[in-house]
Structure 1
């Protein structure tokens, strides 16, 4: 965004000004894939509010939101990744005690015994 603003200022100094609409279009078409939904959201902004400063402000908010979502996904992935964890019940890698088949088999045997008695 700042590079485009620099170019805009240089062109204005060279008496070749670029309108907000052209600059906004360039920004929107240059956004990375992670901002794919932003373009649609921007189209819903009223024409009176579609100016460069508003776009910049909204992009910063979107970038922060995407960053927060990515941090949450990374945290979730690290919680879900149990391949490096070791079960304290059976001693095997790749699962936690609460997901251990040995525990489940013991629980099922206990339930079966109760049903017999």
Structure 2
């Protein structure tokens, strides 16, 4: 009876290992999640494999994370390549990616504000003539830099 249970358990463990390894190799960055959550999902897979005596080394995790980053992180990838090997740790990568994510969010906020400004400016021009209000004299039809006041 013990041998039968051992065979069943061992087969289930091997199936779980295979499934987790597939999950690791097919892992993709989910854009609706932040960087920390994506890395956490990958680390969870790694920890489950480790509990089954199938260890994923940090260098493999780093390589996987770098390979699944979205296009907006392409400059980060180039910068990471220039980091000294002694500083290429999983913890350092996580910290730098989190900082990069914050920079990208700030940049997106600025882009949105700039686009809104440009769209508003364009909507004030009809048939080549400015239709907005002057900030100096408050009259319609010209901008403050063209004001004669």
TM over 0.5: yes
Which residue of the other structure, out of 59, 65, 78, is the alignment partner of 1:40? 78
Aligned length: 100
Indicate whether 1:29 and 2:29 are aligned: no
Indicate whether 1:62 and 2:100 are aligned: yes
Structure 1 residue ranges, 4+ long, deviating more than 6 angstroms after superposition: none
**More relative contact order, 1 or 2 (CA 8 Å, 6+ apart):** 2
1:1-117 alignment, distance < 5 Å: 1-82=39-120, 85-86=123-124, 95-97=130-132, 103=142
TM-score normalised by structure 1 residue count? 0.73
Deviation at 1:86, TM superposition (A): 4.6
The runs of 5 or more residues in structure 1 that have no matched partner are 111-117
The runs of 5 or more residues in structure 2 that have no matched partner are 1-38, 135-140
